[in-house]
Amino acid sequence: MTDVLRILVAPLVWLAAFSGVYGLHGVGCAFGWADVELLSISLFRVALLAAWGAAVLLQLSLIPTLGSNRFGSAAPFVRRTSVALAWVGLVATLWTLLPVAVMSACD
Amino acid sequence: MSALRRHRRLTAIWASEPGWKGWFSTVNHTDVGRMFLATSFFFFLVGGILAMLIRAQLATPHSAFAGPEVYNQLFTMHGTIMMFLFAIPTFEGLAIYLLPKMLGTRDLAYPRLTAYGYWCYFFGGGMLLFSLLAGIAPDGGWFMYPPLTGPIYSPGINTDFWLIGITFVEISAICAAVEFCVSILRYRAPGMSLDKMPIFAWYALVTSLMILTGFPPLILGSVLLEVERAFGLPFFQAELGGDSLLWQHLFWLFGHPEVYIIFLPAAGVISTVIPVMCRTTLLGYGWVVAAAVALAFLSFGLWVHHMFTTGIPHMGLAFFSAASTLVAVPTGVQVFAWIGTMWKGRPELHLPMLHILGFFVTFVMGGLTGVMVAIVPFDWQAHDTAFVTAHLHYVLFGGFVFPILAAIYYWLPLFTGRTRFFKLGELAFGLIFVGFHGTFLAMHWVGLLGQRRRIETYDAEAGWTTINLVSSVSSFVLAIGLAMVLLDVLLHFVVAVRGRRNPWHAGSLEWAMPAPPPAYNFASLPVVETRDPVSSDPHLAVRLARGEGWLADPALDRRETLTVEPSSGTPEYMVIYPGNTRLPIVFAAITGLFFLSLLIKVYWLTPIALAGIATVGWRWVWSLAQPVDLGPQEAGRGERLPVSGETDRAPGWWGSAFLLAADATFFGSLLFGYAFLWTVAPGWPPPELLEPSLLELGVGLAGALVASIGMRIAIRGNRSRGTGVAGLAVALTGTAAAALAVASLMIRVPAPAGHAYDATLFVLGGYALFHAALAGLMQTFLIVRVRRGFTSPARRAEFPIVCLWADYLALVTILVLVVAHLPGWLA
Amino acid sequence: MFAGATLILAFVLVLLALAFRPRSVPPDERGQTRFWIIGLGLGFSMTILAALLAYGLTVGERLLPRDSAETVAVRAVAERWSWSFGYEELPGHVTENVLHIPAGRPVDVAITSVDVVHSFWVPRLAGKLDAIPGHVNVLRIEADAPGTYDGLTAEFNGEGYEEHEFLVIAHDEADWQAFLRGEAP
């Protein structure tokens, strides 16, 4: 069963990060956080970027973890697949949350 | 024992009752799978007829064929039937029929649940069919946006049929999904490790996990809307603090994964059929598995793309636009893996392959228009026009119907043991292909010209007349093609000649049995060493029939199979199935009575139905009683295995775990709804907050913890002394305390019908109370079990199951009480 | 976009057709995996999609309403099955099923609904935006030339859906001033 979890963990982390950032964005816009500024950068933008960065780091750390002897699977198939999906998680995190860096926040 | 004698003996043990009576008491997956498929194709026919009526109406401008009142029912029911009563049940039926055969086992994990799911589908579908025939069918569009479907603008019973009927049908999807997860992970032939699983099983596993997490938001939405309609608790009315956008979120949180829930099983069929049709193996098996998993997850990040025009901030849309483009990548990986497989082998143009080619053309086009509507500015124009209707038909017909037609023709020889006699299928394929593209290419075009979806007529000056006529005529060509497929299949059952086993020379295990398959599937269970066991051992079928595998000895007259450790496939324990019973149909009928009482608003019947459900449920579980310790049993090949009741992780524990995953998604969606209303809905914060009560909170939290700890004491007591009553009594007390606290919460909610805040708290409390009642019932059951001597240190499997539910109750109680009290404190 | 889609479709169809040509295949599974899955499945798809996404996001961002002194603000309130329009510069004045705007100037339409979900759509002026009870959504439209533009409701709302339409009249500067003085055309 742990093997099934190994396969699912990276996409699960993506899903959590994606929902989390979307939720953070929704809450921030609803409560007008976007208008709070510090040194001409919106604090809200900084928070979104930080959340994105944390998610990317977490995904990055999953790749060697799932490939390691300590945490990775003993079965070669599961190890390969889980590492491949860790890459999927990383790319998905970078790709789908890219808008926090380039889009206007609450328009 | 000779192969023939073993066959007779096993058939006597496994067969259903003869004749039509057998339909009502069968729990065999082959039978139930066939019943599922027959029913779902019946609904395909009904949905198809509705489609024809729609096209007849739109063929000419100002058609007087159907007025808006009828037309609105037509398109709503067409979508509803095709999605909920055709596509999902077809997957369920196909997987129920095939999975145990492909996995090399004798049945699914919970045979009675298989039958129960079927009857829920049957009765629920019957409700919707009745509404259609009586002219009181749902008419708010298949995604049922409130407030249009709310109590004010749809006072009739039409909408209730949808909300209640579909929820009833969803039960069968949830049951099937739980069952598939457990079956695929545990009920496999010995030696079948994860990397040797047939690719279809991977797809079915991924799809089932998606059903478990995708359907609960819709069920929640339906429950909330029905509660609003029937009892006036506002969730979607803006003037009372509700928000119609909440429905859109919940619906599409289900609705987009739904598209992939429909597509993935079809992709599983394609991945199975293409290699066989090309005399090779699937290119990049591991990649395809990874792509399927990635697709499943990404599809949960798409739901807002159905809401691009609702005024969500642009960055919010951008997340979903990005995810919607990214989801095309794993789809692309699969498509190219399939084409690569064709290049790797030597494709032969048999009939299933024709339909696969039809899939490629249609689905790729649907995918390309899908990428277009993923782009926000384009979608702002195309949204809610016939372009979107055309796009979704390309994806669903291309991505589901063509592969299913391929599946029908591919597995028909297994179903019937015959070969086709009349060659109607090839002509039918031509008509379907031409008819489909004629219909929906035209629809893309007219959509770009501005024709909205769901209009019942249009002006001749709009210039759409010719295009619509082309579309309608083509749709009738398509219908004739499908009717010919039906005729072909029916003729096949009647007049075709007996064929040989495994006509396609496929490598998977479903072909290592006689055709049509016997009730027990395999006379002895195979030992799997490769991904294509039949290719690597052409005589496998004969050897299994001779009893050279596991569980070859039918001496004990029991329905036996065995389970394996999920990743390695080493045998773990033996399962003894219950036999034929009418319990499933009775249980489903009583469940139906519950839904019916809500539908026709005869509320005195509701508690009676609930009591009936509890009683039958009790009997259901009670009948699994094992009066004495059996110890390890002979499993063949010189090995002995324990029986499932004498393990810590019995099938019931696994089933509960997966069911709780769905339950937790439901609860999570409810919490999301609470947070969503709080931040987005107009009219918040509410006029009056719940008065925090330390006593209520204290009793509830303590009760929750005691219920959980009590179960652990019970497990330990049973293990050391063979009795867990003391611990169970402690747990029951804790459960009662938790129930008391949440009931008090529900009573103290200021005005459930006055504001969405109060209504949400009331539902949260009700959710926890329901789980307390459930856990209490289980604990009482177990106490009775212990007292009657049906447990022992060895027969311990039921303790961990109840513990799981008690733990979940603890989690729910704590969260509900905390989120209910928090705002009051902070204020 | 449609040309690109046609090209991709043609590419896939050619690949499919070539699979049927007679040939002897070298059993090099590794190389094939690299070509089909990594090259085409991942590389090809991701390149195209990244370009498309970048394009979509930029265009979407450019379509966002930006503040400008020229902007005219109007209100659109949907109800089954009519639209009423109010004007910031002409308080109290309401027009039924006809929206008056100046041509050549950006107009912000604040859209809401008093009953069910509707959608405001003037195909020739902009994309659609929903009218949702309890919410106000703002859509930027701009008519380049004076004239009449058809508007539609684009979210199914019950039995009168098909007929639920309105008109947008874009005035030249003189007419618009006349409209604002209450000399309604």
Q: How confident is the model over B665-694, as pLDDT tens digits?
A: 999 999 999 999 998 898 888 998 999 999
pLDDT at C176 > cutoff 80: yes
Q: Which of B106-120, B717-731, C122-136 has the highest mean pLDDT?
A: B106-120
Q: Do C64 and A99 touch (CB under 8 A)?
A: no
Q: For residue B677, give how far its alpha carbon lies from the nearest alpha carbon of chain C (Å).
A: 12
The residue among A94, A95, A100 with the most chain C CBs within 10 A of its CB, best to mutate, is A95
Over the stretch C46-57, which tens digit does the pLDDT of each residue have?
998 899 888 888
Q: For residue B346, give how far its alpha carbon lies from the nearest alpha carbon of chain C (Å).
A: 7
Residue with tokens 């169970």: B728
CATH number at residue B739: 1.20.120.80
What stretches of B436-546 adopt beta strand conformation (E)?
497-498
Cα B104 to Cα B53: distance, rounded to the nearest angstrom: 45
Q: For residue C31, give how far its alpha carbon lies from the nearest alpha carbon of chain B (Å).
A: 11
Measured between beta carbons, which residues in chain B are less than 8 angstroms from residue A100? 315
**Confidence grade of residue B350 (pLDDT, cut at 50, 70, 90):** very high
pLDDT at B372: 85
Measured between beta carbons, which residues in chain A are less than 8 angstroms from residue B679? 26-27, 30-31
Over the stretch B581-630, which tens digit does the pLDDT of each residue have?
999 999 999 999 999 999 999 999 999 999 999 999 999 999 988 899 99
pLDDT at C170: 95
Domain ranges of chain C: 2-63, 72-180
Tell me if B235 sits within 8 A of B173, measured CB to CB: no
pLDDT at C107: 93
Among B208-212, B290-294, B395-399, B721-725, whose mean pLDDT is lowest? B721-725
Residue with tokens 């009642």: B773
Q: For residue B143, give how far its alpha carbon lies from the nearest alpha carbon of chain A (Å).
A: 23
Over the stretch B163-173, which tens digit does the pLDDT of each residue have?
999 999 999 99
State the Rg of chain A over Cα: 17
Query: Which tokens in the block code for residue A21?
Result: 């950032």
Measured between beta carbons, which residues in chain A are less than 8 angstroms from residue C65? 107
- Within 13 A of C163's CA, how many CA atoms are on the CB side? 7
pLDDT at B284 > cutoff 80: yes
Measured between beta carbons, which residues in chain B are less than 8 angstroms from residue C16? 339, 342, 357, 360
Q: Do C57 and A103 touch (CB under 8 A)?
A: yes
pLDDT at B803 > cutoff 60: yes
Query: Which tokens in the block code for residue B60?
Result: 């000419």
Q: What's the whole-number mean pLDDT along residues B420-442?
A: 91
Over the stretch C106-152, which tens digit does the pLDDT of each residue have?
999 999 999 999 999 999 998 889 999 999 999 999 999 999 999 99
pLDDT at C184 > cutoff 70: no
Q: What's the whole-number mean pLDDT along residues B365-373?
A: 88
Find the helix or strand (DSSP H, E) in which B615 lies: helix B605-622
pLDDT at A34: 74
pLDDT at C2 > cutoff 90: no
Cα B293 to Cα B272: distance, rounded to the nearest angstrom: 17
Could you tell me which residues are beta bridge partners of residue C42?
none
Q: B681's torsion region: left (phi>0), alpha (psi -120 to 50) or beta?
A: beta
pLDDT at A41 > cutoff 80: no
Over the stretch B287-325, which tens digit does the pLDDT of each residue have?
999 999 999 999 998 888 888 888 888 888 889 889 988
Q: What's the whole-number mean pLDDT along residues B42-54?
A: 96
Domain ranges of chain A: 2-100
Over the stretch A68-84, which tens digit does the pLDDT of each residue have?
988 888 889 999 999 99
Q: What's the whole-number mean pLDDT along residues B459-465?
A: 88
pLDDT at B354 > cutoff 80: yes
The residue among C37, C53, C55, C140 with the most chain A CBs within 10 A of its CB, best to mutate, is C53
Q: Do B290 and A81 touch (CB under 8 A)?
A: yes
Residue B786 in domain? yes
Query: Where in the sequence is the domain holding B697, given as residue range(s)?
Result: 685-826
- Selected residue with higher pLDDT from C41 and B267: B267
pLDDT at B462: 85
Over the stretch B488-546, which tens digit does the pLDDT of each residue have?
988 888 876 788 888 999 999 999 999 899 999 999 999 999 999 999 998 999 999 99
DSSP per residue over B549-614, as a string?
SBS---TT--EEEEEE-TTT--EEEEEEE----SHHHHHHHHHHHHHHHHHTT-TTHHHHHHHHHH
C156 touches chain B (CB under 8 A): yes
Measured between beta carbons, which residues in chain A are less than 8 angstroms from residue C61? 103-104
**Confidence grade of residue C156 (pLDDT, cut at 50, 70, 90):** very high
Cα B775 to Cα B798: distance, rounded to the nearest angstrom: 13
Q: For residue B380, give how far its alpha carbon lies from the nearest alpha carbon of chain C (Å).
A: 4
Q: Do A104 and C61 touch (CB under 8 A)?
A: yes
C137 touches chain A (CB under 8 A): no
Cα B711 to Cα B730: distance, rounded to the nearest angstrom: 8
Write down the ipTM of this complex. Answer: 0.95
Q: Do B344 and C32 touch (CB under 8 A)?
A: yes
Give the class (CATH, top level) of C72-180. mainly beta
Measured between beta carbons, which residues in chain C are less than 8 angstroms from residue A104? 61, 64
C67 touches chain A (CB under 8 A): no
pLDDT at C90 > cutoff 60: yes
Residue B714 in domain? yes
- Selected residue with higher pLDDT from B305 and B200: B200
Interface size between B and C, measured as CB pairs under 8 A: 219
Q: Which of B296, B323, B680 comes nearest A30 by C-beta?
A: B680
pLDDT at B19: 87
pLDDT at C27: 67
**Confidence grade of residue C26 (pLDDT, cut at 50, 70, 90):** low
Q: How far apart are the first and last CA of chain A?
A: 45
3-state secondary structure chain C: CHHHHHHHHHHHHHHHHHCCCCCCCCCCHHHHHHHHHHHHHHHHHHHHHHHHHHHHHHHHHHHCCCCCCCCEEEEEEEECCEEEEEECCEEEEEEECEEEEECCCCEEEEEEECCCCEEEECCCCCCCEEECECCCEEEEECCCCCEEEEEEECCCCCCCHHHCEEEEEEECHHHHHHHHCCCCC
Residue B202 in domain? no
Q: Do B286 and A30 touch (CB under 8 A)?
A: no
pLDDT at C143: 92
At residue A95's C-alpha, the angle toward residues A93 and A100, to 5°, is 85
Q: What's the whole-number mean pLDDT along residues A54-73?
A: 93
Residues in B whose CB is inside 8 Å of some CB of A read 185, 193-195, 286-287, 289-290, 293-294, 296-298, 300-301, 304, 313-316, 318-319, 322-323, 326, 330, 566-568, 675-676, 679-680
pLDDT at B447: 92
**Confidence grade of residue C185 (pLDDT, cut at 50, 70, 90):** low
